[in-house]
Amino acid sequence: MEKTKKYSYGTKRFIQFGLIAPLVIWLVLFLIIPYLNLFVNSFWTNGVFGVQHKFTLENYTKFFTSGSGSNKPIMVLLDTLRISVIVMICTILISFPLVYFINFKVKKNKQLFYMLAIIPLWVSYIMRAYSWRIILGTNGMLNSFLIWSGITSKPIDAFLYSNGSVIIAMVHIYTPFVLMPMYTAMEQIPKNLIEASKDLGCGRIRTFIKVLLPLSIPGVLTGGTYALALSMGDFLAPNLLGGPTSSTKISNIVQMQFGTSNNWPYGAAIAIIIFLVVLMIITILGKLEKHFSKLEEAGR
């Protein structure tokens, strides 16, 4: 009470603003301005001599009409979405048992296990993506092993440069991102609920299905959202591991517009479309997560 009296209302507001200012400046500089810039750009016309500041909706119509078959940008977007959902499911399937194990089964050194699980985050992205080329390549470790063990006589090219290799790499890279929020969420589940369930006659499996699984859903959804959003925007993994057939994901098209194709307004329009799609998905997942965590909050 003493402290609040010391400052006038105006001074107090000024101090409050001062404290949140770094965050606001960061957001404005690196999120809001770039996106506004993209948004504005997406309505300009691309001319022979660069961008002309003439309003048009052509960039958006082009997205839905250009190309044919699977080359249509809209089809690429759907394909990217499909791959991202697969990545999301795989990362969840890998993370869930691991997080469950660390949280409920490890008695000592929980932090150590957790650190081990997220260590891959400390290795650079490029290193992690390239390592898969070394493993899956024609003369890579996997093929060498298969030939050495006599399972095949010739190296198999299909490992690398396919949707499969892109998915494997992205799952590897994004698993720690899924693992972290999942762990944080699962840590919040009171351990005595397991004992209560046993006390009331439940065995291990039914306790898991009736208590732990429903209470873990918010964490699973948060983690999944990360994997989905990150792999939707990933153009490096398809670039490095996709080869001629699978290197074109939606983010690669955007990258191309700002690079070789030199059509910034079109690139901006696609970026905005991706942004809206991802925003929509995140909102839905967020709503779901909120719905489930509302059920969970009690009893703490």
Partner 1 sequence: MDKKLIEIKNLKKSFGENEIIKSISLDVFDGEFLTLLGPSGCGKTTILRILAGFEYPTEGEILLDGENLITIPANKRNINTVFQSYALFPHLSVRDNIGYGMKIKKVPLKELNERVDEMLALTSLEVLANRKPLQLSGGQQQRVAIARSLVNRPKVLLLDEPLGALDLGLRKKMQIELKRLQKKLGTTYIYVTHDQEEALTISDRIVVMNAGKIEQCDKAKTVYQKPASKFVTEFLGETNLIDGEYCDEENQAYFKIQGRAYPVEKQEKKMKLLSVRPENLKVCPPDKDGLKGQIVENVFMGENYRIGVQAANGQVLYILQKEPMNKGSVVGLTFDADKVSGI
Residues that bind partner 1 (CB under 8 A): 190, 192-193, 195-203, 206, 210-211, 214-215, 294-300
| Contact by Cβ (8 Å): 189, 212 | yes
Q: Minimum distance from CB of 35 to partner 1 (Å)?
A: 37
Question: 189 Cβ partners below 8 Å, 6+ apart?
Answer: 103, 212, 215, 216, 296
Nearer to partner 1, 156 or 196 (CB): 196
Amino acid (one-letter) located at 100: Y
Q: Minimum distance from CB of 94 to partner 1 (Å)?
A: 25
Tokens of 72: 């249509």
Q: Minimum distance from CB of 160 to partner 1 (Å)?
A: 45
Query: Distance between CA atoms of 57 and 42, rounded to whole angstroms?
Result: 8
Burial level of 237, CB count in 10 A (0-12/13-18/19+)? Answer: buried
Q: Minimum distance from CB of 199 to partner 1 (Å)?
A: 5
Nearer to partner 1, 12 or 294 (CB): 294
Tokens of 241: 């591991």
| Contact by Cβ (8 Å): 211, 299 | no
Q: Minimum distance from CB of 291 to partner 1 (Å)?
A: 11
Nearer to partner 1, 18 or 203 (CB): 203
What are φ and ψ of residue 276, in 5° steps?
-65, -40
Strand partners, 51: 46
Nearer to partner 1, 22 or 203 (CB): 203
Nearer to partner 1, 52 or 192 (CB): 192
Q: Minimum distance from CB of 264 to partner 1 (Å)?
A: 49
Query: Distance between CA atoms of 250 and 246, rounded to whole angstroms?
Result: 11
Query: Distance between CA atoms of 264 and 47, rounded to whole angstroms?
Result: 10
Q: Minimum distance from CB of 216 to partner 1 (Å)?
A: 11
Query: Distance between CA atoms of 101 and 106, rounded to whole angstroms?
Result: 6
Query: Distance between CA atoms of 46 and 79, rounded to whole angstroms?
Result: 27
Nearer to partner 1, 23 or 205 (CB): 205
Nearer to partner 1, 61 or 192 (CB): 192
